[in-house]
Structure 1
Amino acid sequence: MSRIARWDRPLAGRLDRLRAWSNMLLADHGIFRLAYLNAHRVTPRLWRAAQPAPTDIAWFARQGVRTIVNLRGGREHGAWPLQREACERHGIALVEFVLRSRGAPDRETILGAGAFFASLEEPALVHCKSGADRAGFFSALYLLIHEKRPLDEAMRQLSLRYGHFRFAKTGILDAFFEAYRREGEAKGIAFLDWVAEIYDPARLEREFKTGFFSSLIADRLVRRE
């Protein structure tokens, strides 16, 4: 908790800001994101990316982005106060929609997604740490619920193209949508009705199996959050 509290406050002066940058670049692996932000346009109204630096936020502001959605939660990295400052400076709303990438999606979170999407001032940017898993899951939900797109189109947001490994622990996100395909879509049941009445997170956790090498790459080498 002390690590979280360290960054859940305004930055006080240049030294504090330098420490936040150092933490973002080194402890949070942001140095790699300076070279590649994994930014992609999902629709004309939604972008997805990895954790943006202040310079990235300035660029997105020039593209017309009005809201940034932080999927990470917590205040344990220097990126948080830097992001908050940059959003205030550029007149961008900063909101949170906390997701996890290695566990069965929470039913109440999914059921609340439609109202959340409708409340966004767009264009919006959604980000997690690497822009691969939670950003892909959010984008898939956005297409499926808000845009009423087909399941197959939505699931393409969870792809190796974005750095997503479906056979690692993060593949439980793919398994969630595949469960809907079998138990809901195939029977003509609407997605949110399936989530509310049929979806069983505990069973999804029990039945999902990971691949050794995919998990090794995603969790040990890439060091996903």
Structure 2
Amino acid sequence: MAPHDGLPRMSPPKFDLAASGGRRRALWDLMAVDHGFIRLVYVNRARVSEKLYRSGQPLPIHFRFIVRRGIKTIVNLRGRNDSGWYVLERESCEKHGIALVDFTTKSRDTPSKELIHGAKRLFETIRYPALMHCKSGADRAGLMGALYRILHEGRPVEEAVEQLSWRYGHMRQAKVGMIDYFFEQYRRYNRERPTPFLDWVDRVYDPAAVKASFMSQWWANLIVDKILRRE
């Protein structure tokens, strides 16, 4: 019988890798529910700089590449989670002595000012070489790749937004195009009133107004949301 001391009870972990069948269930969740079978053949990995990679969700077998490249930090842009992909990634990082940093981002929203400043601090403090990933490696990885080039390398926005490209599976005509629209608002403002990017973010940028003015094309939304089932 359960105790009646009025204290809250910790729920058991969704995937306990040490339990009987736990690893098998976690792998099934990673491969079937999280569409990891696609990343067996297409991990969507690329360089952002000499010391930073971007990719889709890594599978345990992808840690061979990660270890060979001497990766010291993995930045998980999907946020902390109790799903199979997360517990397996955490285990692989612990096994190889790699720091796992959870930094939650969104692909269907304008980036908040807090996220932008948080990204700057992140890039300044993590150990390199590093790899950052979302689920597919297309949208959130593209946003952070662009911010890395702007905030950490001081490159122009026009060059940084190359990280948001169809080559990585990014479709700007869909809701994820809100990221492109955000950068375009800065570029328009900067053409008329030259302003450093972070100054614009702090003094001019209104995330709610930018989101409200964004209009996406229905067919691209259908592809990304209903067919590809991106997060």
TM-score by length of 1: 0.94
State the AA in 2 paired with 1:12.
A
Q: Is the 8 A contact 2:174 2:221 kept in 1?
A: yes
User: What is the distance in 2 between the residues matched to 1:165 and 1:4?
Assistant: 39
User: What is the distance in 2 between the residues matched to 1:15 and 1:185?
Assistant: 59
Structure 1 stretch displaced more, 107-116 or 214-223: 107-116
Tell which structure's C-alpha radius of gyration is larger.
2
* Deviation per residue, 1:131-155 (Å, 9 max, x gap): 0000000000000110011111100
Tell me by how many angstroms 1:5 deviates: 5.3
Aligned residue runs from structure 1 range 210-225, under 5 A: 210-225=216-231
User: What is the distance in 2 between the residues matched to 1:137 and 1:165?
Assistant: 13
State the AA in 2 paired with 1:6.
K
Which residue of the other structure, out of 12, 15, 39, is the alignment partner of 2:18? 12
Who is 1:109 aligned against? 115
Aligned residue runs from structure 1 range 185-200, under 5 A: 186-200=192-206
* Deviation per residue, 1:2-61 (Å, 9 max, x gap): 999524xx5224510111000000000000011100000111100000000111123211
Tell me by how many angstroms 1:90 deviates: 0.9
Who is 1:75 aligned against? 81
Which residue of the other structure, out of 190, 201, 206, is the alignment partner of 2:212? 206
List alignment gaps of at least 5 residues for structure 2: 1-9
List alignment gaps of at least 5 residues for structure 1: none
Other structure's SS at 2:111 match? coil
User: What is the distance in 2 between the residues matched to 1:42 and 1:81?
Assistant: 26
User: What is the distance in 2 between the residues matched to 1:171 and 1:44?
Assistant: 27
Structure 1 runs (4+) deviating above 3 angstroms are: 2-5
Which residue of the other structure, out of 124, 145, 148, is the alignment partner of 2:130? 124
Q: Is the 8 A contact 2:80 2:102 kept in 1?
A: no
Tell me by how many angstroms 1:76 deviates: 4.3
State the AA in 2 paired with 1:217.
I
Change (3 A) 1:137 1:114: same
Q: How many pairs were matched up?
A: 222
Who is 2:66 aligned against? 60
Tell me by how many angstroms 1:112 deviates: 2.3
